[in-house]
Amino acid sequence: MGSDIKLDINARFDHARDVIKAAGKRAMSYYDGTAGDLEIEAKTNALDMVSIADKNVEAIIRDRIHDAFPEDGFLGEEMGIEQGSNDCLWVIDPIDGTACFVNQMPSWCISIALVVAGEIVLGLIYQPCNKELFTARLGEGAEANGEPIKASTANSVSEGLMGLGMSHRTSSDEITPFIKDLLDREGIFIRNGSGALMMAYAAAGRLIGYYEPHINPWDCMAGILLMREAGGWANDYLGAPDALEKGAPILTAGANVAAELRAMTGIEK
């Protein structure tokens, strides 16, 4: 990446950091009720919901980034893909954990990533309830509220909490063997309703890793970079066929436990 592009990426990072906080403030106005009642509609089932908050928060993110960098493209959960005139693609989840959000539980976040020519170069995940911002830049490490974070140093799955995700896009048969294997190895798991947030927690070493048999790109792009920049391992999500259009499996892990989790999930690269 040339120096001119690097400066450009740094400008995008600084702008995205301001934008995600502004988006978080807007999301909180819905969460705490000051923006009025939410209009909620089911996507495919009652647990896969979309609200006016999702749509408006994504619009804020897109509009403010577009104003600063009109040549960039976007891929968002609510508004789909908009191709830009360069190699930059912002991947946005305005509220990951909508079911938690609308039911007044704090396990939700905003996720923004920048992919340039097929490589994740920026990742930001903001949890407005705790005002906790996780950030990563390619080759420059990962931070939480400006302080460096490191992935777990656990040596086996029995030494910490494992984050798990599941949706009805896949069969329960794709996750239950892993759960049994994990429990048989004296491991334990948590599922808090937001894959992006659990991936941020894994990058910060609070979880030993995160696994989901199928996840959409807007839920995981930022988390992948966070884990890699925190010294952990993440599978080659973008190497899967049509991952940006159809999604793919995700596995992130602390470096010492990655081999065990790869064997348990069958995800080798």
Give the whole-angstrom CA distance, residue 102 versus residue 146.
29
> Is the pTM value of this prediction over 0.85?
yes
The binding site consists of 77, 93, 95-96, 219
pLDDT digit string (tens) for 41-63? 656 554 445 678 888 999 999 99
User: Known binding site for Mg(2+): residues?
Assistant: 77, 93, 95-96, 219
Q: Which two tokens stand for residue 177?
A: 């063997």
Give the pLDDT score at 149: 98
pLDDT at 159: 97
> What pLDDT score was predicted for residue 40?
65
What integer pLDDT is reported at residue 171 of this predicted model?
84
pLDDT at 1: 44
The pLDDT, as a whole number, for residue 168 is 80
Topology of the domain covering 3-148: Fructose-1,6-Bisphosphatase; Chain A, domain 1 (3.30.540)
The whole-angstrom separation of Cα 98 and Cα 41 is 11
- For 86-103, write each residue's pLDDT tens digit: 999 999 999 999 889 988
* pLDDT value at residue 67: 97
The answer to whether residues 174 and 213 touch, using CB atoms and an 8 Å cutoff, is yes
Q: How far does Cα 250 stand from its chain's mean position?
A: 11
Write down the pLDDT at residue 3. 41
Q: Which residues, in sequence order, are CB contacts of 97 under 8 Å at separation 6+?
A: 107, 108, 109, 192, 193, 194, 196, 197
Q: What is the pLDDT along the chain (269 residues), one digit of tens a residue?
A: 444 455 599 999 999 999 999 999 999 998 987 655 666 665 655 444 567 888 899 999 999 999 999 999 999 877 788 889 999 999 999 999 988 998 889 999 999 999 999 999 999 999 999 999 999 999 999 999 999 999 999 999 999 999 999 988 888 888 999 999 999 999 999 999 999 999 999 999 999 999 999 999 999 999 999 999 999 999 999 999 999 999 999 999 999 999 999 999 999 88
Pick the CATH number of 157-265 from 3.40.50.2300, 3.40.190.80, 3.50.50.60, 3.10.25.10: 3.40.190.80
The domain segmentation of the chain, as residue ranges, is 3-148, 157-265
Q: Which of 134, 120, 154, 123 lies closest to 232, judged by CA?
A: 154
Report the pLDDT value the prediction gives residue 102, as an integer from 0 to 100: 85
